[in-house]
Protein backbone atom coordinates (compact mmCIF):
# COMPACT_ATOMS: atom_id res chain seq x y z
CA UNK A 1 0.00 0.00 0.00
CA UNK A 2 1.38 3.36 -1.02
CA UNK A 3 1.52 6.20 1.46
CA UNK A 4 2.11 8.69 -1.34
CA UNK A 5 -0.80 11.10 -1.81
CA UNK A 6 -1.42 12.93 -5.08
CA UNK A 7 -3.75 15.88 -4.32
CA UNK A 8 -4.60 16.40 -8.00
CA UNK A 9 -4.72 14.27 -11.13
CA UNK A 10 -1.93 16.46 -12.54
CA UNK A 11 0.25 15.60 -9.53
CA UNK A 12 -0.32 11.89 -10.27
CA UNK A 13 0.50 12.47 -13.94
CA UNK A 14 3.73 14.30 -13.05
CA UNK A 15 4.75 11.40 -10.79
CA UNK A 16 3.93 8.91 -13.58
CA UNK A 17 6.33 10.58 -16.02
CA UNK A 18 8.93 11.05 -13.27
CA UNK A 19 8.77 7.30 -12.54
CA UNK A 20 9.20 6.57 -16.26
CA UNK A 21 12.28 8.78 -16.50
CA UNK A 22 13.83 7.37 -13.31
CA UNK A 23 12.98 3.68 -13.97
CA UNK A 24 11.39 3.76 -10.51
CA UNK A 25 8.99 0.84 -10.03
CA UNK A 26 7.88 1.76 -6.47
CA UNK A 27 7.00 5.29 -7.60
CA UNK A 28 5.29 3.96 -10.73
CA UNK A 29 3.10 1.61 -8.71
CA UNK A 30 2.36 4.38 -6.17
CA UNK A 31 0.72 6.26 -9.05
CA UNK A 32 -1.58 3.33 -9.93
CA UNK A 33 -4.76 2.56 -7.99
CA UNK A 34 -4.52 -0.41 -5.65
CA UNK A 35 -7.24 -2.40 -7.29
CA UNK A 36 -7.73 -4.97 -10.00
CA UNK A 37 -9.73 -2.71 -12.31
CA UNK A 38 -6.64 -1.30 -14.06
CA UNK A 39 -5.81 -1.29 -17.77
CA UNK A 40 -2.48 -0.58 -19.43
CA UNK A 41 -1.61 -0.73 -23.13
CA UNK A 42 2.01 -0.06 -24.04
CA UNK A 43 2.80 0.98 -27.63
CA UNK A 44 2.29 -2.07 -29.86
CA UNK A 45 1.53 -4.21 -26.82
CA UNK A 46 -1.35 -6.30 -25.59
CA UNK A 47 -4.05 -5.00 -23.27
CA UNK A 48 -3.00 -5.71 -19.68
CA UNK A 49 -5.68 -5.80 -17.01
CA UNK A 50 -5.12 -6.03 -13.26
CA UNK A 51 -2.44 -4.92 -10.85
CA UNK A 52 0.02 -7.82 -11.27
CA UNK A 53 0.18 -7.78 -15.11
CA UNK A 54 0.59 -3.99 -15.02
CA UNK A 55 3.34 -4.18 -12.36
CA UNK A 56 5.16 -6.95 -14.24
CA UNK A 57 5.10 -4.96 -17.49
CA UNK A 58 6.69 -1.95 -15.81
CA UNK A 59 9.23 -4.17 -14.05
CA UNK A 60 10.34 -5.57 -17.42
CA UNK A 61 10.51 -2.12 -19.03
CA UNK A 62 12.60 -0.71 -16.18
CA UNK A 63 14.84 -3.80 -16.03
CA UNK A 64 16.05 -2.99 -19.55
CA UNK A 65 18.03 -0.13 -18.03
CA UNK A 66 17.11 2.13 -20.94
CA UNK A 67 16.81 5.75 -19.79
CA UNK A 68 14.00 7.78 -21.35
CA UNK A 69 13.16 11.46 -21.37
CA UNK A 70 9.61 12.64 -22.01
CA UNK A 71 8.27 15.90 -23.36
CA UNK A 72 4.52 16.24 -23.10
CA UNK A 73 2.68 18.32 -25.70
CA UNK A 74 -0.89 19.15 -26.59
CA UNK A 75 -2.35 18.08 -23.25
CA UNK A 76 -6.14 18.04 -23.20
CA UNK A 77 -7.69 17.49 -19.80
CA UNK A 78 -11.27 16.49 -19.11
CA UNK A 79 -12.06 16.40 -15.42
CA UNK A 80 -14.86 15.94 -12.99
CA UNK A 81 -15.21 15.38 -9.28
CA UNK A 82 -14.09 11.73 -9.36
CA UNK A 83 -12.41 11.18 -12.77
CA UNK A 84 -9.86 12.96 -14.91
CA UNK A 85 -8.82 12.04 -18.45
CA UNK A 86 -5.56 13.40 -19.85
CA UNK A 87 -4.85 13.06 -23.56
CA UNK A 88 -1.26 13.95 -24.41
CA UNK A 89 1.29 13.67 -27.13
CA UNK A 90 4.59 12.23 -25.87
CA UNK A 91 7.94 12.96 -27.45
CA UNK A 92 10.33 10.32 -26.14
CA UNK A 93 14.10 10.52 -26.31
CA UNK A 94 16.31 7.62 -25.34
CA UNK A 95 19.29 8.99 -23.42
CA UNK A 96 22.33 8.65 -25.65
CA UNK A 97 20.39 8.65 -28.93
CA UNK A 98 20.70 11.80 -31.06
CA UNK A 99 17.04 12.14 -32.10
CA UNK A 100 13.69 11.60 -30.42
CA UNK A 101 11.58 8.62 -31.34
CA UNK A 102 8.36 9.08 -33.32
CA UNK A 103 5.64 10.71 -31.22
CA UNK A 104 3.18 8.71 -29.15
CA UNK A 105 -0.42 9.56 -28.32
CA UNK A 106 -1.30 8.64 -24.75
CA UNK A 107 -4.48 8.64 -22.73
CA UNK A 108 -4.18 8.55 -18.95
CA UNK A 109 -7.25 8.15 -16.77
CA UNK A 110 -7.23 9.01 -13.07
CA UNK A 111 -9.66 8.21 -10.27
CA UNK A 112 -10.06 10.23 -7.09
CA UNK A 113 -9.70 7.80 -4.19
CA UNK A 114 -9.73 8.29 -0.40
CA UNK A 115 -5.90 8.39 -0.61
CA UNK A 116 -5.67 10.90 -3.46
CA UNK A 117 -5.72 10.66 -7.25
CA UNK A 118 -4.57 7.38 -8.81
CA UNK A 119 -4.11 6.15 -12.38
CA UNK A 120 -6.52 3.47 -13.57
CA UNK A 121 -5.80 3.50 -17.34
CA UNK A 122 -2.71 4.22 -19.45
CA UNK A 123 -2.91 3.65 -23.19
CA UNK A 124 -0.08 4.74 -25.46
CA UNK A 125 0.22 4.18 -29.19
CA UNK A 126 2.10 5.67 -32.15
CA UNK A 127 0.76 9.06 -33.17
CA UNK A 128 0.18 9.70 -36.86
CA UNK A 129 2.59 12.32 -38.19
CA UNK A 130 4.83 14.63 -36.24
CA UNK A 131 3.72 16.89 -33.41
CA UNK A 132 1.47 19.60 -34.76
CA UNK A 133 0.87 17.97 -38.14
CA UNK A 134 -2.70 17.05 -39.02
CA UNK A 135 -3.56 13.39 -38.99
CA UNK A 136 -3.75 11.75 -42.42
CA UNK A 137 -7.16 11.05 -43.92
CA UNK A 138 -8.19 7.65 -42.59
CA UNK A 139 -11.29 5.64 -43.37
CA UNK A 140 -14.15 6.57 -41.10
CA UNK A 141 -14.77 3.51 -38.96
CA UNK A 142 -17.01 3.42 -35.92
CA UNK A 143 -16.22 0.95 -33.18
Domain residue spans of the chain: 9-126
**Do the Cβ atoms of 73 and 86 come closer than 8 Å?**
no
* Strand 83-94, strand 104-113: pairing: antiparallel
pTM: 0.85
Question: How would you label 94-118 residue by residue, b for 16+ Cβ within 10 Å and e otherwise?
Answer: eeeeeebeebbbbebbbbbeeebbb
Q: Residue 100: is its pLDDT beyond 90?
A: no
- Residue 12: CB atoms within 10 A of its CB come to 26
Specify the pLDDT at position 139.
46
Domain 9-126 CATH assignment equals 3.10.450.50: yes
- The DSSP code for 13 is H
Specify the pLDDT at position 99.
84
Amino acid sequence: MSTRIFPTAQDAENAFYEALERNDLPLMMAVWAEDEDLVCVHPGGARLAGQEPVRESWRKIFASGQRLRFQIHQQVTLSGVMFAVHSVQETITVVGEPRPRPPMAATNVYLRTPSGWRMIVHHSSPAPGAAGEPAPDLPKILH
